[in-house]
Structure 1
Amino acid sequence: MNNYKSSIALFLKRFFLIVIIYQLSRILFYCINREQFGDFTLETFTGGLLFDFAAIAYINTFFVIFHLIPGNFKYKTTYQRILKIAFYSINLIFIATNFIDIIYYRFTGRRSTFSMITAKGMEKEAVGLIPSFLKEFWYIAVIFFLVSIILWKLIPNLKKINLLETVTRKDYYKQTAYFILSLVIILIIGRGGLQKKPIKIVDAIKYGALSNSALVLNTPFCILKTIAKKEDIDKVNYFDEKELVSIYNPAITLQPTNPATKKNVVILILESFGDENVGRGQTPFLDSLITKSYYFKNGFANGKVSIDAVPSILSSIPSLMNNSFISSSYSLNKINGLPKILKKEGYNTSFFHGAFNGSQNFDQYAKVAGFEHYYGKDQYIGKEAFDGRWGIFDEEFLQFYATKLNSFKQPFFSSLFTISSHNPYIIPEQYKGKFPKGTTVIQESIAYTDFALRKFFATAKKQGWYKNTLFVISSDHTSSGGDQAIDKTNIGKFSIPILFFDPSNPELVGVNEKNFQQIDIMPSILDYLNIKTDMISFGKSYKSKDNFVVYYLQGTYHYIQDDYYLAFANNQAIGLYNWKKDVLLKTNLMQQDKAKTQQMERFLKAYIQTFNDRVINDKLAN
Structure 2
Amino acid sequence: MFARFLFAGLALLALLALLLKSLILLWSPASFAALSSAQQLEAIVWGFRFDLAAASLVWAPFALLCWLSVRLLRQRRLSWLWWWAPALLLTAMQLGDLMYFDNSGRHVGYEIRELTREFAGLFDTALKQYSLPMLGLLAVGLATALLCRRGAVLQGRLGPLRIELPLLLALLVAAVGIRGSLTELPMKPDRAYDIGNPQQALLSLNPAYAMLSGLLASSKGQASNPLYRQLPAPSNKALALLEPQRLRAAEPYQAPTRQVNVVLMLLESWPAEVMHSYNPAAPTKPAVTPNFDALHAKGLRTDGLLAGGRRTVEGFFGALCSYQNPLEAGVPNTALQSLPYHCLPELLSQAGWSTAVFQGMHKGETGSFAQQLGTQHSYGKLEMPPAQVEKNSWGYQDPDLYRFVVAQAKRETAPFFYMINNTTTHDDQLPPGEPWVFGKEDAKARQLSVLHYADKALGDFIRAFEQANIGPTLFVITADHTAGERSGHLGRYWIPFLLYATDGSVPARHVPGIGAQQDIAPTIMEYLGGRAPWFAGHSLLSQPPQGAGYATSGSLGWVSGKTVIEYPLQHPDQLTCYDWQQDLAMTTPQPCPAQASALRDLSWASTWYQQSLLFQGQTREFGRVDPASLLRNDSATQTAGGSATTQPAG
TM-score category, normalised to shorter length: 0.7 to 0.9
| Conserved 8 A contact 2:198-2:554 | no
| Conserved 8 A contact 2:359-2:420 | yes
2:509 aligned partner? 510
| Conserved 8 A contact 1:421-1:446 | yes
1:529 aligns with 2:532: no
Which residue, out of 300, 310, 320, partners 1:294? 300
| Conserved 8 A contact 2:84-2:145 | yes
Residues 166-203 of structure 1, C-alpha deviations (whole Å, 9 max, x = no match): 99xxxx79x98x99998777666556689999975344
Which residue, out of 614, 622, 629, partners 1:611? 614
Distance 2:23 2:361 in 1: 33
Residues 325-364 of structure 1, C-alpha deviations (whole Å, 9 max, x = no match): 23434334333222222234332222222223x33x2332
Distance 2:416 2:59 in 1: 61
Distance 1:84 1:464 in 2: 69
Alignment of 1:367-406 (within 5 A): 367-381=371-385, 384-385=388-389, 387=391, 389-406=393-410
Give the TM-score normalised by the residue count of structure 2: 0.77
2:638 aligned partner? none
Change (3 A) 1:300 1:313: same
1:498 aligned partner? 497
Q: Tell me the SS of whatever aligns to 2:475.
A: strand
Distance 1:284 1:97 in 2: 39
Distance 2:616 2:301 in 1: 33
Distance 2:347 2:233 in 1: 32
User: What amino acid maps onto 1:231 in structure 2?
Assistant: A
Residues 24-55 of structure 1, C-alpha deviations (whole Å, 9 max, x = no match): 43443332333444257232233223324433
2:313 aligned partner? 307
1:17 aligns with 2:25: no
Change (3 A) 1:253 1:499: farther
User: What amino acid maps onto 1:443 in structure 2?
Assistant: L
Distance 1:257 1:134 in 2: 51
Change (3 A) 1:480 1:612: same
Q: Tell me the SS of whatever aligns to 2:504.
A: coil
| Conserved 8 A contact 2:315-2:517 | yes
Per-residue deviation at 1:387?
A: 0.2
Q: Tell me the SS of whatever aligns to 2:549.
A: strand
Per-residue deviation at 1:434?
A: 6.1
User: What amino acid maps onto 1:134 in structure 2?
Assistant: L
User: What amino acid maps onto 2:400 in structure 1?
Assistant: E
1:266 aligns with 2:263: yes
Per-residue deviation at 1:511?
A: 2.4
CA RMSD, Structure 1 to Structure 2 (Å): 4.5
**More divergent stretch after superposition (235-244 vs 209-218):** 235-244
Distance 2:251 2:573 in 1: 33
Q: Which has the higher contact order (CA 8 A, sep 6+)?
A: 1
2:279 aligned partner? none
Q: Tell me the SS of whatever aligns to 2:489.
A: coil
| Conserved 8 A contact 2:79-2:152 | no
Distance 2:62 2:370 in 1: 49
1:44 aligned partner? 40
Which residue, out of 107, 111, 114, partners 1:116? 111
Which residue, out of 418, 421, 439, partners 2:422? 418
Q: Tell me the SS of whatever aligns to 1:540.
A: coil
2:569 aligned partner? 569
2:351 aligned partner? 345
Per-residue deviation at 1:411?
A: 2.7
| Unaligned ranges ≥5, structure 2 | 277-283, 619-645
Q: Tell me the SS of whatever aligns to 1:429.
A: coil
Count of aligned positions? 593
| Conserved 8 A contact 2:62-2:86 | no
| Unaligned ranges ≥5, structure 1 | 482-486
Change (3 A) 1:199 1:117: closer
Which residue, out of 187, 208, 217, partners 2:205? 217
| Conserved 8 A contact 2:518-2:537 | yes
Give the TM-score normalised by the residue count of structure 1: 0.80
1:97 aligns with 2:93: yes
1:326 aligned partner? 332
Percent identical among aligned pairs is 18
1:284 aligns with 2:290: yes
Per-residue deviation at 1:572?
A: 5.3
| Conserved 8 A contact 1:590-1:597 | no
Per-residue deviation at 1:475?
A: 1.1
2:120 aligned partner? 127
| Conserved 8 A contact 1:313-1:518 | yes
Q: Tell me the SS of whatever aligns to 1:320.
A: coil
1:56 aligned partner? 52
Distance 1:444 1:264 in 2: 32
Distance 2:255 2:182 in 1: 64
Which residue, out of 601, 604, 625, partners 1:601? 604
Per-residue deviation at 1:244?
A: 6.6
Distance 1:30 1:477 in 2: 25
User: What amino acid maps onto 2:459 in structure 1?
Assistant: R
